[in-house]
Chain A
């Protein structure tokens, strides 16, 4: 019943909802209704609200000025930072093992092929990091015959990525032979693990 009354009153505007509140209080507690009719005892300093906006804006601007210098002093990312950022995008789980293992293989290859150069175990990581994933995949595909399955296994790859093989031209017979070779190279315990 009260709800229906509320809906009707709302449509007539806010003045009537104030009346409704007054009536509610009179029915609930005539004592409090009488008390409310008296003047509100809480006071505010004069001009308080006139000055408030200026005070708040001043504080906001002060905070913004304190925060601003930090933005300016940030150096622009160097090429190494950008490279690392790109590598981090590449180093997602599905690529991690392949990338790491192939990078190691390439780095090792570089070490062996360029003995007279300035390449040392220390900067192999740097060299490996500079090689893009596409280059790595292309190298492996091109030289896939040189890679033995055992190398992959030693490098820690649990699964051979057959996508690499599929991109080269292999007919079904060669595929069968390849599979047989792969299976032969795996010893019994690894096979059991796979199955």
Chain B
């Protein structure tokens, strides 16, 4: 009936239609009172857990790692929800936490491993092959490799625009970067990925 909507659900992982979703104001009101903090927090999880999960998963790749990072994020959110001042949207605040935790995780992992960039890439390709939670073919694995090669900021922008389909304004709130710079980042990222495919196809 609504093919576009169905496709949107699978791509952006939105399970509820906007009309049935609880509002951020209602969630925040519940989180203000100690008695209603747990139900409020559960509603927050229900609304945003999937989006946060995918933001993290795109960066850390493995489901188990994404699960660890997501749980840490959620505990942080619970402990620091009082510091949310409403200057940005709730979901961009959540995305910022998820992004920072993911990057911290990735950097920790990099420090532990002493492999070179090339080894990391072929490692990633093999890892995706073996991953029970990755169903992609060779092209998909190549795409993930290409994304992994991007500089950090470009990678973040690309994920948020390409996979999460976020507006530049929202991305700007998450990364605290101007819309103009973000557009340029996205364009560079897309071109680099294309270039990577051309180079690897030739080989």
Contact = CB atoms under 8 A, between A and B. Distances in A.
Q: A and B, one complex? A: yes
Interface stretch (A30-38, A120-128, A146-154, A163-171): A30-38
Nearest to A3: B179
Contact of A35 (B67, B143, B165): B143
Interface stretch (B98-106, B114-122, B191-199): B191-199
Most buried by B among A15, A17, A63: A17
Contacts of A10: 167
A25 B10 contact: no
B71 A59 contact: yes
B143 A29 contact: no
Nearest to A37: B7
Contacts of B45: 52-53, 56
B162 interface: yes
B139 A45 contact: no
B38 interface: yes
B140 A41 contact: yes
B63 interface: yes
Interface of A: 6, 10, 14-15, 17-18, 21, 25, 28-29, 31-32, 35-36, 38-45, 48-49, 52-53, 55-57, 59-60, 63
Contacts of A53: 42, 45-46, 49
Q: Which 5 A-B pairs rank lowest in CB-CB distance, beginning with the nearest? A: A41-B136, A41-B140, A56-B74, A53-B45, A43-B133
A59 B72 CA distance: 10
Contacts of A44: 53, 63, 133
Nearest to B62: A42
Contacts of A28: 186-187, 190-191
Interface residues of B, number: 44
A32 B187 contact: no
A99 to B, nearest CB: 41
Given A35-B139, A43-B133, A63 B194 contact: no
A21 B165 contact: yes
Contacts of B4: 15
Given A45-B63, A45-B133, A56-B75, A32 B49 contact: no
B115 to A, nearest CB: 23
Given A42-B134, A49-B53, 6 more contacts: A17-B165, A29-B194, A32-B194, A41-B137, A53-B46, A56-B71
Contacts of A39: 10, 135
A55 B41 CA distance: 13
A47 to B, nearest CB: 13
Given A40-B11, A42-B133, A52 B165 contact: no
13 contacts: A14-B18, A17-B167, A28-B190, A31-B197, A38-B140, A41-B136, A42-B54, A42-B134, A45-B63, A53-B49, A57-B41, A59-B71, A63-B75
